[in-house]
Structure 1
Amino acid sequence: MLGKKKNRPFVSVVVVAAGNASRMDGIDKQLVEIDGMPVVIRSILAFEHSNKVDEIIVVTKKESIPELNRQVREFFANKVKFIVAGGRTRQESVFCGVNCIDDRCKYIAIHDGARPLVLTGAIDACIEDAMVYGAALLGVKVKDTIKAIDKERFVEKTIDRENLFIAQTPQIFEISLYKQAMQQADENGTDFTDDCQLVESIGHKVYVSHGHYNNIKITTPDDISYAQALLEQMEDGI
């Protein structure tokens, strides 16, 4: 077992929790509790419990750092190495985290702190896929019928959903590939809201690993009660 651990690649995780909560009516969605545990802590612990993850960097708002430090200690998130302030955009915040990772890192996993129900098993599978393809993300097939509309809100066409997937996180990349994409984005002055899009911009394909529909992103106050209900179902094995 010890030899196996030594031989596997070093995996760093950046948990992004620096959003401005513009759709949360002033509620800090990262620190709000679901079943007695803050959202961002639930996200962190999913990676804490993975045998494939070596370190976690958390990026948050500067004013949230003291409270998050306290919570990390309270919930024994021992793989958290740094909690740092983010930037003006999501991309800048991710880069702040990437700049703090260990020099031994071979793969970087980037996760939205507002996705507290991600499963450790799905994380592990996504890491394995990233090791094969260089880049991978969790995703689920679109269930609903998708319509493209014109400026007057009339339907122009119905889009075939067979090959449509909803992108989730984590999104995981070979570190040299990701840093190459970071450098190009910096040189071109481009700013992406999705890390796969960043890597796609340098021509690299990203593999879609099997996600799960419970891996929701908390965006509005209604999502908090929905996440609570999903968590209860997961705990009951429904």
Structure 2
Amino acid sequence: MMIGKKKKRPFVSAIIVAAGNASRMDGIDKQLVEISGMPVVIRSVLAFEHSNKVDEIIVVTKKESIPELNRQVREFFANKVKFIVAGGKTRQESVFCGVNCVDDRCEYVAIHDGARPLVLTGAVDACIDDAVEHGCALLGVKVKETIKAVDEERFVEKTIDRENLFIAQTPQIFEIALYRRAMEHADSTGADYTDDCQLVESIGQKVYVSRGHYNNIKITTPDDISYAQALLEQMEDRI
């Protein structure tokens, strides 16, 4: 037996999902809007580009956005981007398009919303480590606010204990064989999920919650753009 032999690092493929229709963005393509001179989706890509634990990146976007994203990937030296592919009609279909493009060596797949440009590379790395230990993991943060359950007339029925409540973020990272089993199950049942953890939970898999950070917001409305800009400036001031 060899003593002290270093365990081989698993091959990790990152899928950046940027194929949404941005229905709440007043016609603005949130993936291409710039924050401090860099497009939102490129900021998301670079968080994985800079990780020593990520081997390749696949970007899933709208068909008409592929030429522009190709140009931006070259401009910002995102050298790990292997493919930029068109997504499907739903988020789940878009993720599946990305998964079908991963390298044959892929052991873990990290799925991230392109509209979360402030994710930290350190958080990505920690989530990968947790996924390797537990089979799958997602970034999450504890709920801060008091949560109320209401009835159909909007009267409070009860106050929910927030001690064990977490806000799900991305990336969400899975052992690739596990994720493919969940894909097959969804295909066979006709289920369509907007959350990848929910997809694997549907086949009975538990998902570990890795420590996220509150700045890892998802840009959903125009107001979020200015908020993300302010958060980025705060983050840069601390460096």
With the length of structure 2 as denominator, give the TM-score of the two structures: 0.97
Cα distance in 2 for residues equivalent to 1:22 and 1:148: 27
Correspondence for 2:10: 9
How many angstroms apart in 2 are the aligned matches of 1:128 and 1:59? 24
Q: Alignment partner of 2:148: what SS?
A: strand
5 Å-filtered alignment, 1:21-100, equals 21-100=22-101
Q: Take 1:166 and 1:76, find their aligned partners in 2: how far apart are those partners?
A: 32
Counterpart of 2:154 in structure 1: which amino acid? R
Match of 2:145 in 1: 144
The aligned amino acid for 2:58 is I
Q: CA deviation at 1:222?
A: 0.2
Percent same amino acid at aligned positions? 86
Q: State how far apart, in whole Å, the 2-side matches of 1:138 and 1:93 are.
A: 20
Structure-1 residue corresponding to 2:207: 206
Unmatched runs of 5 consecutive residues or more in structure 1:
none
Alpha-carbon deviations, 1:91-146, whole Å to 9, x = none? 00000000000000000000000000000000000000000000100000000000
Q: In 1, Cα distance between the equivalents of 2:155 and 2:73?
A: 49
1:173 paired with 2:174, answer yes
Q: Secondary structure at the match of 1:122?
A: helix
Query: Deviating runs (4+, > 3 A) in structure 1?
Result: none
Matches of 2:42 and 2:105, distance apart in 1? 25
SS in 1 for 2:167: strand
Task: In structure 2, give the amino acid aligned to 1:131.
Answer: V
Q: Which amino acid aligns with 1:200?
A: E
Q: Which residue of 1 aligns with 2:223?
A: 222
**Residue 197 (str. 1) matches residue 198 (str. 2):** yes
Q: Residue type of the partner of 2:61? A: T
Alpha-carbon distance in structure 2 between the residues aligned to 1:20 and 1:173: 26
State the secondary structure of the residue aligned to 2:107: strand
Q: In 2, Cα distance between the equivalents of 1:176 and 1:99?
A: 12
Taking the aligned partners of 1:154 and 1:167, their CA distance within structure 2 comes to 26
What is the distance in 1 between the residues matched to 2:156 and 2:238?
Answer: 40
Q: Deviations over 1:5-43 (max 9, x none)?
A: x92110001000000000000000000000000000000
Task: Give the partner amino acid of 2:232.
Answer: L
Q: In the TM superposition, what whole-angstrom CA distance separates every residue of 1:41-93 from its partner, at most 9, and x where no partner exists?
A: 00000000000000000000000000000000000000000000000000000
Distance 1:161 1:237 in 2: 30
In structure 1, the residue corresponding to 2:220 is in which secondary structure? coil
Supply the distance in 1 between the matched residues of 2:105 and 2:190 (Cα, whole angstroms).
28
Distance 2:115 2:54 in 1: 19
Whichever residue aligns with residue 199 of structure 2, its letter is L
Q: Distance in 2 between matches of 1:45 and 1:93?
A: 20
Task: Give runs of aligned pairs for residues 112-151 of structure 1, distance below 5 A.
Answer: 112-151=113-152
Task: After TM superposition, give the deviation of residue 174 of structure 1 in Å.
Answer: 0.3
What letter matches 1:104 in structure 2? R
The separation in 1 between residues aligned to 2:177 and 2:202, in whole angstroms, is 15
Report the alpha carbon displacement of residue 182 of structure 1 after superposing the two structures with TM: 0.3
User: How many residues are treated as equivalent by the alignment?
Assistant: 235
Give the counterpart letter for 2:11 in structure 1: F
Unaligned runs of 5+ in 2: none
SS of equivalent residue, structure 1 residue 105: coil
